Amino acid sequence: MALLRAGIEIDAYCTRCRMDLTHRIIAVVNNKPVKVECRTCYGTHNYRAPKSSPVPAEKTTGGTSAPRPKASPRRSAAPEEQISVAPPPGARIHGYRMTERFSKDQWVAHKVFGTGVVTQVLGDDKIEVHFDGVSKVLVHNRPEE
């Protein structure tokens, strides 16, 4: 299996164009694309496998209830996660400051970790950000001291 990384182009289903199109990978976790940018409408969305070519692992064709050798879904942000992100051209990248408030899918530039994308807002004061190679929980929306 080819190694996927952010920045390369793959076929994916575009949720906006409603068809299989070339997408640029924006974020990869554990060699699976999670976020892509459509090269046609330039919309950014979660990765969907192309409709035309069935992708293994996403859907199992057999309906048998065989035991699945899957990791438990309870596992949260394992340190071995392999993450790769690349901002789309023209993306607005905000300098990270803990006093600023960030929202999902925003790009941030961090002094230590580099450029990353907000993958989750964890309550009022924390965000999860995927940087190239690492996922971090950062504080945000902190009152100025």
* Residues at the contact surface with Zn ion, assessed by CB under 5 A: 14, 16-17, 38, 40-41
Comparison of 30 and 46: residue with beta carbon closer to Zn ion: 46
Nearest CB to Zn ion, comparing residues 49 and 127 = 49
Between 52 and 64, whose beta carbon lies closer to Zn ion? Answer: 52
Residues in the chain: 145
What does the alpha-carbon distance between residue 121 and residue 124 come to, in Å, rounded to a whole number? 8
Least distance in angstroms from the C-beta of 51 to Zn ion: 13
Q: How far is the CB of 24 from Zn ion (least distance, A)?
A: 11
CB of 113 to Zn ion, least distance (A): 30
The residue nearest Zn ion at its CB is 38
